[in-house]
Amino acid sequence: MAEALGSNETGTKEAREKALKERFPVEKEEELVCEPTLLLDWTGVIMAWHLPGVLSEEFQRDGVGNLEFLFPDISRSITSSRSWRTQEDLFMESWIRGAIELSPAWYQQGQVPYRHQPEVSAILKASHADPGPQQWLRARALQNAILSATLMVMHPDL
């Protein structure tokens, strides 16, 4: 299904949604899954792992609690633009509203511009005015290591 989606899908075009549902049918629309499950596409490719209860309550609380380091940058991301990542009316009312990119070499992936060296996101550079993102990375180090090890077991070829 991932290959069928465009790079700027908004999820608001009914005809497109209908076409995708016909191309990738779901056997049972309303089934609640409460046990470990793999979500496969029709060719058997793993699309998602559902592993309820694998991450402890403490692990999850720490993950949410560490987001406080990112609040100033996240809240500035909300705009009235039509980008689905930061469009205000697509966020539920909650204490975390917004989007932030923290990927190293995000825009350089898959491209080799002439004499260009990949670099981290501007928000992660030491020169960024708010130290929150770097504090968040330090606070998330153990969680990131656990999740990376989990992905290595689940997808060893990646």
Q: Which two tokens stand for residue 152?
A: 């290595």
In a domain, 74, yes or no: yes
Band (29; pLDDT cuts 50, 70, 90) = low
In a domain, 69, yes or no: yes
In a domain, 71, yes or no: yes
69 and 133 Cβ atoms separated by less than 8 Å: yes
Q: Give me the helices (H) in 24-140, please.
A: 57-65, 71-77, 132-139
Q: How many domains does the chain have?
A: 1
Q: Comparing C-alpha atoms, which of 49, 47, 7 is closest to residue 24?
A: 47
Burial 111-137 (b: 16+ CB within 10 A, else e): eeeeeeeeeebebbeeeeeeebbeebe
Average pLDDT over the chain reads: 76
pTM for this entry: 0.52
Q: Is the pLDDT of residue 108 over 60?
A: no
Predicted pLDDT of residue 19:
87
In a domain, 76, yes or no: yes
In a domain, 144, yes or no: yes
Predicted pLDDT of residue 57:
93
State which residues form the domain around 68: 54-154
Decide which of 69 and 128 is more confident: 69
